[in-house]
Structure 1
Amino acid sequence: MSRVFTRFHYAHDTDTTAIERIQDCTPIVDHATALRNEGVHGDKEMRHAARFPMVIVERYCNEKGITFEEWMSNPEHAKAMLNDSALAAFRVWEGRS
């Protein structure tokens, strides 16, 4: 897995700090693609639907204004990510969630 970098940005004029998380997700996409191409996605009882890096989950939470706890406790958030065409590269199983 590729390393996650954290950058802190401080704005003197507003006295605010922003945190930026950066990760090269190419290896994760490549792994998901390989699993998808090989048909390694489980069976109807337990599907391996996708492999989302934490930086993608964090971005989703920030955009939706929710906590990670909310993301984990409400399956609608994961379902929304699974059905988001912009995140299709992370899908292992191509079925509809």
Structure 2
Amino acid sequence: MSHPSQRPGPSQRSGSGEGSTPISPLLVPMLLGGIVIGFLAGYFFVWWGLIAVAAVLVVAASLVLTGRSRDGATGAVVGVLLGYLGIILVALFRGVL
């Protein structure tokens, strides 16, 4: 066991020495929800799915501008883009598009 005097302090721990920024609890659900929305939009609506991607971008921008969770909005945008681009790439590689 280490004694309290031997434990590294907050400034001695690994990393940059500064405390980490807390992440919003909305990040992960919005990311996963965005992936599902992007996947479904790309799978069922193909190129019309870009409307859903644009809609999520507009909603996320409005959330940030009104002062709500920036992490949640970022998660939604990244998730939708990952889901949509992922299924479009799969369709391209399979020769469907």
> Taking structure 2 as the reference length, what is the TM-score of the superposition?
0.31
Q: Which has the higher contact order (CA 8 A, sep 6+)?
A: 2
Higher strand proportion: 1
Q: Which of structures 1 and 2 has the bigger CA Rg?
A: 2
Higher helix proportion: 2
